């Protein structure tokens, strides 16, 4: 599929949101749209605000914020800016293939590093290793956590649900290299697909693998079928795993799987975590680190 890149000028780069359950309230995205084309992506609807569709347009019409670094420099220099944590990649992957060509993420990383601004970076791409020296430096100067989404060790399933993202093996290798370079890496183990990657063996294998790679945090999430992805996911299940469709329809009467199902999954992950001695950190630890760095 040909990809169309459209450079745009942004007026602001940081955007504020108010979600009490998240440890940050600022997000930033060097690109709009995302070439990774994940089946379950629920950011797709954001492309409709631009006059595009949330299907193939989201995957192939990529807006490139060409002036992002200059705008960010001004935003972080404002007297009112308090140095809050920013989540880089809150809507689309900052290390999607476009980054190889345009390097906007690298440019804004340099600005965040210059201001020692606390940062979370979320990705599914090992292209992040290109910036390992910069990230390692930032990790010594401020709070920095790289979050890798890793959903399954089964490459066959991974290819179907995240067709253009890095393989799980590549992501695990990136987790290891970043951890070895002193960068704190967390794992977003989400979405957990009922009946596909939710058996104990799969969960245990993944928890063990990310622990061995040096990950320090594990955030879980069972598949949510919001309106923006419900039909897409159910059509996929129907095509690829037709025997599971009745089970999905029974489980997802609403966008969310029932609580007893999610509790069962959370217990399984907890058991796997304890089994291999994976200790997740708590956010207060990060605040302490930030205060120490600020002294
Ligand atoms: S990497 Fe994230 S933003 Fe990109 S398609 Fe996948 S879920 Fe959506």
CA-to-CA distance for 158 and 167, rounded, in angstroms? 7
Atom of ligand 1 nearest to the CA of 91: 3
Write down the pTM of the prediction.
0.93
| pLDDT, tens digit (0-9, with 9 covering 90-100), for 7-26 | 999 999 999 988 777 788 99
59 Cβ inside 6 Å of ligand 1? no
Number of domains in the chain: 1
| pLDDT, tens digit (0-9, with 9 covering 90-100), for 206-216 | 999 999 999 99
Environment class of 19 (CB within 10 Å of its CB; exposed 0-12, middle 13-18, buried 19+): exposed
Task: State residue 294's pLDDT score.
Answer: 55
Structural domain includes residue 95: yes
CB distance 44 to 91 below 8 Å: no
Is the confidence at residue 285, as pLDDT, over 60? no
Structural domain includes residue 143: yes
| pLDDT, tens digit (0-9, with 9 covering 90-100), for 197-238 | 999 999 999 999 999 999 999 999 999 999 889 999 999 999
Task: State residue 290's pLDDT score.
Answer: 59
CB distance 197 to 157 below 8 Å: yes
Structural domain includes residue 294: no
- Among 92, 105, 165, the mutation site with the greatest number of ligand 1 atoms within 8 A of its Cβ is 92
Structural domain includes residue 295: no
Say how many Å lie between the CA of residue 68 and the centre of ligand 1.
20
Structural domain includes residue 28: yes
CATH number at residue 170: 3.20.20.70
Q: Within 10 A of 97 (CB to CB), how many other CB atoms are there?
A: 19
Task: State residue 288's pLDDT score.
Answer: 63
Is the confidence at residue 84, as pLDDT, over 60? yes
CA-to-CA distance for 171 and 174, rounded, in angstroms? 5
Structural domain includes residue 264: yes
Domain that holds residue 21: 4-289
Atom of ligand 1 nearest to the CA of 124: 1
281 — pLDDT class (breaks 50, 70, 90): confident
Task: State residue 147's pLDDT score.
Answer: 96
């Amino acid at each position: 599929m040909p990809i169309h890149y459209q450079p745009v000028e942004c007026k602001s780069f940081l955007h504020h949101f108010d979600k009490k359950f998240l440890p940050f309230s600022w997000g930033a995205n060097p690109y709009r749209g995302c070439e990774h084309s994940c089946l379950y992506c629920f950011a797709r609807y954001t492309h409709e605000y631009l006059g595009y569709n949330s299907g193939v347009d989201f995957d192939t019409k990529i807006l490139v914020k060409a002036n992002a670094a200059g705008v960010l420099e001004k935003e972080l220099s404002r007297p009112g800016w308090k140095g809050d944590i920013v989540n880089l990649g809150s809507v689309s992957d900052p290390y999607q293939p476009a980054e190889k060509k345009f390097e906007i993420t690298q440019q804004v990383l340099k600005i965040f590093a210059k201001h020692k601004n606390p940062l979370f970076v979320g990705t599914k791409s090992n292209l992040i290793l290109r910036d390992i020296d910069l990230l390692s430096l930032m990790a010594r100067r401020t709070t920095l956590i790289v979050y890798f989404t890793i959903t399954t060790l089964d490459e066959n399933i991974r290819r179907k649900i995240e067709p253009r993202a890095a393989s799980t093996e590549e992501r695990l290798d990136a987790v290891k290299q970043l951890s070895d370079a002193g960068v704190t890496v967390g794992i977003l183990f989400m979405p957990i697909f009922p009946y596909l990657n939710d058996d104990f063996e799969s969960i245990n294998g993944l928890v063990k693998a990310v622990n061995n790679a040096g990950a320090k945090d594990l955030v879980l999430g069972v598949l949510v079928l919001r309106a923006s992805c419900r039909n897409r996911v159910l059509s996929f299940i129907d095509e690829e795993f037709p025997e599971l469709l009745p089970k999905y329809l029974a489980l997802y009467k609403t966008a969310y799987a029932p609580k007893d199902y999610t509790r069962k999954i959370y217990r399984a992950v907890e058991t796997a975590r304890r089994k291999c001695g994976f200790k997740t950190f708590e956010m207060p630890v990060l605040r302490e680190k930030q205060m120490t760095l600020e002294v």
